[in-house]
């Protein structure tokens, strides 16, 4: 069987991305994949001298500019954007099958001309499709119904189409991870899932009725579960996947228990895209203290989701 071909982007060259990639490819890990690393020529040269796992290289960025750990710049933002563009095009041409992205600084990328709120939206624009942000690789599997929008806009943004897409993605993710059928816990929007309409009406008026109608498609689907208990119940084995209705509802518990292991995965696109679930960590870049476990999990999850 042909091995999956995975492009790895360096992320911001002044963040921890390059050293994490180096850790992944220099450790005694085995990846059942053909790996191509997209990054600055100086980083690729350094990587080639230390990597144990074989890889292909695609250089990007200005060779006259050297990027220093912990010192972000507009030039670093431009390089991170160029790496994303090259990896996306490699998949569109059929040269690669999936992308694992190093962490970028949204602020510095915006200064460099990036017009997207995140990498999820970038790949949706580059590849087409309807993206859904999800997380896996640790103790919890979480799918977000909404993500990069202000909290005050969440209720208005939620509807049957949005929630239905999240349920489908949760079911698909659970099945790919081997749960058949997946047991899906849905977090309520309001405290105590609305407490029967006392603390909010959305659950009673439309979310629970919609979940009831959707149970024919997804037999392991719950009614709304209070957001302060659904993740504990998942950790105790009651649910295989949790659908959170907004960004921090899902990410706060996930990062509390899975910070060094969780993987960001974009569902619903023509190609798989995963990423470690942490940022650039400029404050510790270059110190050799950042764990590459999440990055390694991102590579492994990309391979697993393609199987």
Maximum separation of any 2 CA atoms in the chain, in Å: 63
Q: Using the predicted structure, report yes or no on whether residue 228 has a pLDDT greater than 90.
A: yes
**Six-digit token string for 307:** 């199987």
Residue 192, Cβ neighbours under 10 Å: how many?
A: 16
Tens of pLDDT, residue by residue over 86-143, are 999 999 999 999 999 999 999 999 999 999 988 989 999 999 999 999 999 889 999 9
Please report the pLDDT score of residue 176 as a whole number.
Answer: 92
Residue 184 · residue 238 · CB < 8 Å: no
Answering whether pTM is above 0.85, one says yes
pLDDT-above-70 percentage for the chain: 99
Q: How confident is the model at residue 30 (pLDDT cuts 50, 70, 90)?
A: confident
**Six-digit token string for 159:** 């509807």
Mean pLDDT value across residues 205-216: 98
**Six-digit token string for 286:** 């270059």
- Which residues partner with 186 through β-bridges? 224, 243
Burial pattern 273-297, b for ≥16 Cβ within 10 A else e, equals bbbbbbebbbeebbeeebebbbbbb
Question: Who wins on pLDDT, 306 or 210?
Answer: 210
Please report the pLDDT score of residue 307 as a whole number.
Answer: 75
Structural element, H or E, at residue 225 = strand 221-225
Q: Using the predicted structure, report yes or no on whether residue 27 has a pLDDT greater than 80.
A: no
- Phi and psi at 138, nearest 5°, equal -130, -135
Mean pLDDT value across residues 245-262: 93
Please report the pLDDT score of residue 183 as a whole number.
Answer: 98
- Phi and psi at 243, nearest 5°, equal -95, 115
Mean pLDDT value across residues 207-219: 97
Q: How many CA atoms lie within 13 A of 222 on its CB side?
A: 23
Q: How confident is the model at residue 189 (pLDDT cuts 50, 70, 90)?
A: very high
Mean pLDDT value across residues 19-35: 90
State the sign of the Cα–Cα–Cα–Cα dihedral 229, 235, 241, 243. positive
| Euclidean distance between CA atoms 107 and 224, whole angstroms | 35
Residue 166, Cβ neighbours under 10 Å: how many?
A: 25
Long-range contacts of 39-42, Cβ-Cβ distance < 8 Å, separation of 24 or more: 39/9, 39/10, 39/13, 39/79, 39/83, 40/10, 40/13, 40/67, 40/79, 42/66
- From residue 1, how far is each of 33, 175, 177, 272, 290 by CA, in Å? 11, 22, 20, 19, 34
Please report the pLDDT score of residue 1 as a whole number.
Answer: 66
- In a 3-state reduction of DSSP, which class is residue 209? helix
Domains and CATH numbers, the chain: 1-131+266-307 (3.40.718.10), 139-260 (3.40.718.10)
Please report the pLDDT score of residue 209 as a whole number.
Answer: 98
Residue 154 · residue 146 · CB < 8 Å: yes
Q: CB neighbours of 89 closer than 8 A, spacing ≥ 6?
A: 126
């Amino acid at each position: 069987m042909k091995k999956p071909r995975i492009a790895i982007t360096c992320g911001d060259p002044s963040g921890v991305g390059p050293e994490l990639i180096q850790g992944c490819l220099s450790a005694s890990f085995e990846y059942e994949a053909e790996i191509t690393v997209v990054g600055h020529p100086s980083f690729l040269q350094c990587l080639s001298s230390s990597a144990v796992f074989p890889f292909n290289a695609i250089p990007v960025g200005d060779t006259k500019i050297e990027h220093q750990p912990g010192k972000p710049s507009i030039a670093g933002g431009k390089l991170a954007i160029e790496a994303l563009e090259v990896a996306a095009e490699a998949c569109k041409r059929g040269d690669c099958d999936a992308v694992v992205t190093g962490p970028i600084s949204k602020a510095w990328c915006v200064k460099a001309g990036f017009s997207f709120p995140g990498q999820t939206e970038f790949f949706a624009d580059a590849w087409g499709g309807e993206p859904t942000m999800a997380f896996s690789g640790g103790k919890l599997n979480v799918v977000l119904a909404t993500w990069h929008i202000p909290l005050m806009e969440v209720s208005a943004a939620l509807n049957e189409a949005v929630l239905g897409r999240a349920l489908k993605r949760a079911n698909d993710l659970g099945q790919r991870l081997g749960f058949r059928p997946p047991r899906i816990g849905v977090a309520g929007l309001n405290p105590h899932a609305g407490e029967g309409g006392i603390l909010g009406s959305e659950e009673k008026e439309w979310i629970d009725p919609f979940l009831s109608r959707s149970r024919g498609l997804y037999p392991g689907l719950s009614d709304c579960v209070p957001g302060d208990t659904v993740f504990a119940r998942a950790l105790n084995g009651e649910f295989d996947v949790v659908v959170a209705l907004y960004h921090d509802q899902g990410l706060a518990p996930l990062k509390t228990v899975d910070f060094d292991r969780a993987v960001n995965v974009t569902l619903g696109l023509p190609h798989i895209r995963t990423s470690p679930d942490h940022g650039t960590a400029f404050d510790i870049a270059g110190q050799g203290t950042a764990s590459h476990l999440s990055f390694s999990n991102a590579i492994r999850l990309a391979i697993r989701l393609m199987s």
